[in-house]
Amino acid sequence: MTDATPERDTVAIDSMAHDIYKQLTEGGNMLDVPFKTMKDVFMWAVCLGAQQGQKMPLTGKRISIFRWAQFDPQIDVPLLKAIAIAESGDVSILLRRNDILNIIEEYANAGIYELRARIFDEFGQPLWNLVSMVP
Amino acid sequence: MKLERITLENFRQYFGRQRLDFAKDKQHRVTVIHGVNGAGKTSLFLAINWCLYGEGVSNVGELISKEAIKLASSGENVEMSVELSFTHDGERYLVKRSRHGTKMFDGSIQVNSADEFIVMRILWDGQAQTIKNPIGTINAILPSNIRSYFLFDGEKIDGFAKPEAAKEVKEAIYLVFKLETLDRARGHLETAASDYRKELKTATSGELRGLLDEDEKAREELKRKEDRKAEIGIELDVARRKVADIEQRLREIQNVRFLQQQRDRIEQDLKVRRAELEDVQNQIRDITTTSYFTLVQPVIGRALHLLDEKRERGEIPSNIRRQFVEDLIAEMRCICGRPFTDGSPEHLRLLRIIDNTLPGALEDEVLDISATLRTFNGRAHRQRDDLTIHMKRRAELVDLIKDLDAEADDIGRRLKDSPLEEVSRLELQRQSFLADIDRYNTDTGSLARDIDSLKERISQLEKRIGQARKNEKKEKLLGIKFDLAQRAADAIKDMYQTYADDMRLRIEAKTKEIFKLLIWKDSHFQDVRLSPDFDLEVIDRYGRPARPELSAGERQVLSLSFITAMSRISEEEAPLVMDTPFGRLSSQPRNNITKFLPDLADQLVLLVTDEELRDQARANLEPRIGREYRLQFDSKTSCTRIEEVR
């Protein structure tokens, strides 16, 4: 990443994972569709990927699903930066948003499939399955 | 077009400036220009063609006068030009075409760039107005491709009468009568129709109809579902009212009133508890969906460890801002207030901190993130505690609701088993209505889902129909264009055929009329025909085609008859300029032609040898000659001088 590259403002996912994001956010019943926003789904996916140390490059078409500004500056942004520091071992990555985004998007791309499996493929209602994932 | 005057300057053997006026009044419309062979008749004929149409009129060779070149000095400019004035449709025009050359040291001429060509229209007040599109104007007056039928070479005059000339005859009629334009229009329209047909084949078809059918069915289905949902809504209200009525009746019956009142309290309690359960579940959802950070406590720990390591190595200040350290050094005072000296361990340590500090923005980031990350552990504990509390409350509420449901069931059972028949019947009815309400609710939910799904499907169909409509519009437009182009092409084809046949018959009649006037054996030749295949044929007294047996002179008369017939029928106002027209004719046909030809052309210019025009022929033309010239060739200079005879 060079200084000349403009800073990205949007967060992208692989188009193949887009349906999972919709499945987890679209619908009225909170017990079956636990998430309110795609941002929260993305954060869960990032954290699951980082927890398990699994990353997956985005190889398909990239879809922007929300803007960087939607991340909570008190929780999400420091958390994502911590993940990026831990991954890169480089403190200066804090000033390189595009590098941070590349790392977390790859974690989310791996974590989203794990999240879907744990929520929908296991016995029980999706919300309680999600609750059971909180350590 | 009626020619007025021609002025030649250094054109071929016409050295210097020389002028010739054409006869143009009705009675004296003939201009005769005499010249022996090689005197310059063909050059004069060429000058008219070149002036109007430029290069390409024929193989013109060198146009600039050799005498003018000879007399010019090396490097001197030599100008050659032809000016022509004429009238057309009441307007007067001046045309000038000129060419410039520079004489080279070896005596040759270097022609400078392209010819200059100007056409001017003389306005009513005598002012000359330059025409911006001179070529277009000349072509509009006498098109280049038909000029050879009006300005023609006597050597070629018998061309139309040759047995193989059907193509030329057809072409002449095409050009003079603008049939070419119609034919071209038909060709273009047929090409357009063919292109549209191909495009139509690739355009979508039938898709819209299918989509509209699908849309109609989906909308009918939606209406049925919505109607059913509305009906169920009414039935639901009725059932609820019935339950309310029954409960009211049970409150009125002395022996069971207390049971119904107890059930009322339970129902009210259930309502409150269920609302609370919903609220608690919402809070659980909010806590859980934002508890992702609890998964990565070890990762946060690793990040903090990395930050701490760097700080321990002095790469990151431990919450000490660069400005603060710089202030301490400036004051030579330790953070504890004790002064230190230059080069002391304290001084050196502070200097090292300054050297290792990060750039401002990164320093801010590092300090902020370090501080925030350290709060995550406590935040995770609080999040878990909140979740535990809410989950516990949810479990309590679920139990409470179960108990209340059981109590309500018990009351229901007691009422149903009541020895009072009315009470038992009422409770049974109540339970039946409650079952109906459950069913109605289920059906409503199912219908609502179907309705949502149908609405989504209709929305998708609308998009596809919109696209298909665009395609169909294009398809329809293409269809209209195709139909229009094909019908126009067919109409033009019919029109063309009718017009061509009409022209052919009129030319045939006129050619016959003129031929009979001009030919000397009029009793031998009975008829002239122009067949649908444009074969120009002469029929003899025996009713047989006689063209193969025509003499050169007779062929010339036939051709001339055809040309003048075209000129008469086309009503083109154009002069007949004939170069050496009577060379092959014996005296009798020559006499006939000279007798009648002046009346067959608006203006006649004859470039002749003395032998061509003498005795009776000359006498015939005499009263119609308006202007007469002689081309005097000087063998010493090889130049020609135009001498006015009359």
Tens-place pLDDT, residues B401-451: 999 988 998 999 899 899 999 999 999 999 999 889 888 988 888 898 899
- Residue A2: its pLDDT value, please? 42
- Residue B47: its pLDDT value, please? 92
Q: ipTM of the predicted structure?
A: 0.95
Interface test with A, best of B289, B308, B369 (most A CBs within 10 A): B289
Query: Backbone phi, then psi, for B643, in 5-degree steps?
Result: -110, 130
* Residues written for chain A: 135
Nearest CB to B362; choose among A30, A95, A127: A95
Nearest CB to A75; choose among B293, B306, B387: B293
Chain A residue numbers touching B449 (CB-CB < 8 A): none
The answer for B 621-640 residues in CB contact with A (under 8 A) is none
B143/B125 Cα distance (integer angstroms): 28
pLDDT in tens, A32-89: 889 999 999 999 999 999 999 999 999 989 999 999 999 999 999 999 999 999 999 9
- Residue B120: its pLDDT value, please? 86
- Residue B195: its pLDDT value, please? 82
Edge-first strand order for the sheet with B77-88 is B14-21, B2-11, B77-88, B91-103, B109-122, B128-130
Domain ranges of chain B: 1-150+575-646, 190-205+467-499
- Residue A50: its pLDDT value, please? 96
Nearest CB to A35; choose among B289, B310, B379: B289
Nearest CB to B284; choose among A44, A92, A131: A131
- Residue B257: its pLDDT value, please? 93
Q: Tokens 């490097």 sit at which residue?
A: B75
Nearest CA in chain A to B452: A27
Q: Cα distance from B355 to chain A (closest Cα, Å)?
A: 17
Chain A residues touching chain B at CB-CB below 8 Å: 30-31, 34-36, 40, 43-44, 46-48, 50-51, 74-75, 78-79, 81-83, 85-86, 89, 91-92, 94-95, 127, 130-131, 133-135
pLDDT at A17 over 90: yes
Q: Any residues with CB less than 8 A from the CB of B383 and at least 6 apart, and which?
A: A134, B287, B290, B291, B294
Residues in chain B predicted with pLDDT less than 70, given as ranges, are 55-61, 126, 145-146, 154-165, 178, 201-205, 314-322, 354-361, 522, 572
- Residue B162: its pLDDT value, please? 66
Q: Any residues with CB less than 8 A from the CB of B78 and at least 6 apart, and which?
A: B10, B64, B65, B68, B69, B72, B100, B101, B102, B103, B109
8 A C-beta contact, residue B494 and residue B182: no
| CATH architecture, range B1-150+575-646 | 3-Layer(aba) Sandwich (3.40)
Chain A residue numbers touching B296 (CB-CB < 8 A): 47, 50-51, 79, 82-83
Query: Backbone phi, then psi, for B630, in 5-degree steps?
Result: -130, 135
Nearest residue to B33 via CA among B53, B9, B8, B58: B8
Rounded to an integer, what is the distance from CA B366 to the centroid of its chain?
61
Q: Do A134 and B384 touch (CB under 8 A)?
A: yes
Interface test with A, best of B274, B278, B280, B295 (most A CBs within 10 A): B295
Q: Do A82 and B292 touch (CB under 8 A)?
A: no
pLDDT in tens, B280-327: 999 999 999 999 999 999 999 999 999 888 777 766 554 556 677 778
